[in-house]
Amino acid sequence: MRATLIYGAGDVRVEEVPDPKIQHPTDAVVRVLRSCVCGSDLWPYGSMPASEHGGRIGHEFLGVVEDIGSDVSGLKSGDLVVAPFVWSDNTCDFCREGLHTACRHGGLWARDGIDGGQGEAVRVPQAQGTLVKLPVAEDSALLPSLLTLSDVFCTGHHCAVTAGVNPLTTVTVVGDGAVGLSAVLAARRLGAERIILMGRHKDRTDLGLDFGATEVVAERGEEGIERVRELTGGDGTHTVLECVGTLPALEMSLGVVRAGGTVSRVGAPQYGEVPLGFPEFMNNITLTGGVAPARAYIGELLPDVLEGRVEPGRVFDRTVSLDDVPEGYRAMAGREALKVLIQP
Amino acid sequence: MRATLIYGAGDVRVEEVPDPKIQHPTDAVVRVLRSCVCGSDLWPYGSMPASEHGGRIGHEFLGVVEDIGSDVSGLKSGDLVVAPFVWSDNTCDFCREGLHTACRHGGLWARDGIDGGQGEAVRVPQAQGTLVKLPVAEDSALLPSLLTLSDVFCTGHHCAVTAGVNPLTTVTVVGDGAVGLSAVLAARRLGAERIILMGRHKDRTDLGLDFGATEVVAERGEEGIERVRELTGGDGTHTVLECVGTLPALEMSLGVVRAGGTVSRVGAPQYGEVPLGFPEFMNNITLTGGVAPARAYIGELLPDVLEGRVEPGRVFDRTVSLDDVPEGYRAMAGREALKVLIQP
């Protein structure tokens, strides 16, 4: 079959790889119907040192079960399923607590001999715990929105949940990428009535307004902080959803959070140290968030997607074939596309 | 009257100062029955540049109302009251949310013309919001424990509450000072069944065991982290109560927290940057805590103190007169005393 490999910064290729086969009785093989490119894929695409041996990439997909191992129950060939971006057994103590990203028998896609999602098919370890059945047909118009349950909508939801967003909290969302817009949608879904979206790409912030943002702040840095403070009587907002992952974005988040408030981060940190010293201590600022346990949230979010109450799939503004995945990366890295859907 | 002033590192003096008088109709004047020295007083005592003009110091006291302003209701002369270590109106939006440390009309003791607690009397701004009546007599044996409601017990409680301690969470307390021991007591009170106390002063950790710690780890740094990991099957604990304020203590806290867990800090940070990068992100670690809104907790904790179910006053292991306050500082800074009670 064909799958996507990354060889270094700017060098993504689609190549022939061995067909996935059941290796363990807990495996399944899934034929990919839809995959996509993640903002976090752009970090290695931007800076990975060149390598002679490419590595698999991609961690978001939905598809059709083609084969299952003997220990997998509750799934059968032909089932349409979505895979969260971390695979997990869904039974260990961490999974039972809803932290599937720390599963004692789980792991990441495209690492250590595990397939990536950006290919024609995927061997899924811990298939019974990992995969979630979707009650739709292969030609459903809902596939893009259902695919966001793999990562981006669940990540936005995780950000809002860990920040403690509720109808009484004011919210700032930092970042107008697909995660930021998903966080807007998630915050609105959790009842937030005031959502300030910080972003400077009008087409994206317009979608953010559709998703429930009530104000847009295009300024950044100190100017951006000042603007949000102005909008909130000098106080800042109870919750700040940091959806970028850079230090300036985090600093801006800390600059607009209200005393007693929470900054939640879901953008993979491109920094090692966080400025949380005496002033933040005196203001009782909490920093939370992290990699989203998508598996924990799919059951809760699925009905709203199936019934059309939310349309997180609107973050996809370009669709490419598997052959055109390199072009998809180029377009996303160059900000021509917000988020690229892959239809193998 | 006499009050304590600090002139620089190692230079604390008790001097004559003007008697406190009602200046605003919202004031009260309180004659101090008991005050004490705080671990945070030791930071300026250790490093404050010398100054010709001393500044007041001390922020924990209980005493008897001697005079009240015309706008103060619910208090009368002769009432025995405790003052939280931040004064506040108890009516603004922050106070109503329980964050009295961010009160819109509040502030700190011993700053900006406000009296400090380590003196014979104190003018209390926002007296109606700040002071809490205590139903005991001036000679009550409970005074030391009641005094801890001013800061140290409430600070330990804040640490445990913001960390999310409950009967199901395992707890590590970092630090065997008065705040750390108070955090042990608070965690036990909230139902924690396993509390690992990290400290290396046996007389203090023995009190920690009395307060509810189930294990003591005397090692520090990497060794200490390894020891707590060993005790917890490699996982660390759900919650970590950081009660020191130094970077090594915070690093140790981050080293012993379980994936998905929370580090709460209540020691005033002697650092500006926190190592919360990619590994902590992948583990969904939360950093919370901050300066404790003691006023918010006194109502909840008071009955347990009055009825003797907790004895937080056991952290006081030395009592000095006002004249001997400089000796009290010396003893606490030299670790001869755990926490020094002042009886003016």
Q: Tell me, yes or no, if B44 comes closer than 8 A to chain A by beta carbon.
A: no
pLDDT in tens, B251-305: 999 999 999 999 999 999 999 999 999 999 999 999 999 999 999 999 999 999 9
CATH of range B155-289; options 1.10.10.10, 3.40.630.30, 3.20.20.60, 3.40.50.720: 3.40.50.720
**CATH homologous superfamily, domain A156-289:** NAD(P)-binding Rossmann-like Domain (3.40.50.720)
Distance from CA of A26 to the nearest CA of B (A): 25
Contact A99 B291 (CB under 8 A): no
Within 10 angstroms of residue B137's Cβ, the number of other Cβ atoms is 10
How far CA B209 is from CA of A240, B180, B184, B197, in Å, comes to: 39, 12, 9, 8
Specify the CATH number of the domain A2-151+293-343. 3.90.180.10
Q: Along the 344 residues of chain A, how does pLDDT read in single tens digits? A: 999 999 999 999 999 999 999 999 999 999 999 999 999 999 999 999 999 999 999 999 999 999 999 999 999 999 999 999 999 999 999 999 999 999 999 999 999 999 999 999 999 999 999 999 999 999 999 999 999 999 999 999 999 999 999 999 999 999 999 999 999 999 999 999 999 999 999 999 999 999 999 999 999 999 999 999 999 999 999 999 999 999 999 999 999 999 999 999 999 999 999 999 999 999 999 999 999 999 999 999 999 999 999 999 999 999 999 999 999 999 999 999 999 999 99
Q: Which chain A residues are closer than 8 Å to B290 by Cβ?
A: 280-285
State the best of B282, B283, B291, B297 to mutate against chain A, taking most chain A CBs within 10 Å. B282
Q: Which chain A residues are closer than 8 Å to B283 by Cβ?
A: 102, 290
- Whether the CB-CB separation of A172 and A143 falls below 8 Å is answered with no
Angle at A290 between CA A39 and CA A274, to 5 degrees: 95
- Walk across the sheet containing A55-56 and list its strands: A11-16, A2-8, A55-56
Q: Tell me, yes or no, if B268 comes closer than 8 A to chain A by beta carbon.
A: yes
Tell me how many residue pairs between chain A and chain B have CB atoms under 8 A apart. Answer: 108
Q: Tell me, yes or no, if B286 comes closer than 8 A to chain A by beta carbon.
A: yes
Contact B283 A273 (CB under 8 A): no
Contact B281 A287 (CB under 8 A): no
The phi-psi region of residue A221 (left if phi > 0; otherwise alpha if psi is between -120 and 50; otherwise beta) is left
Q: Tell me, yes or no, if A111 comes closer than 8 A to chain B by beta carbon.
A: no
Contact B281 A272 (CB under 8 A): no
Q: Tell me, yes or no, if A281 comes closer than 8 A to chain B by beta carbon.
A: yes
Contact B273 A271 (CB under 8 A): no
- Whether the CB-CB separation of B57 and B13 falls below 8 Å is answered with no
Q: Tell me, yes or no, if B228 comes closer than 8 A to chain A by beta carbon.
A: no
Which residue matches tokens 């990540």?
A155
Q: Tell me, yes or no, if A101 comes closer than 8 A to chain B by beta carbon.
A: yes
pLDDT in tens, B57-69: 999 999 999 999 9
Contact B290 A282 (CB under 8 A): yes
Could you state, in order of their start, the residue ranges of all structural domains in chain A?
2-151+293-343, 156-289
In 3D, which of A117, A19, A8, A10 has the Cα closest to residue A54? A8
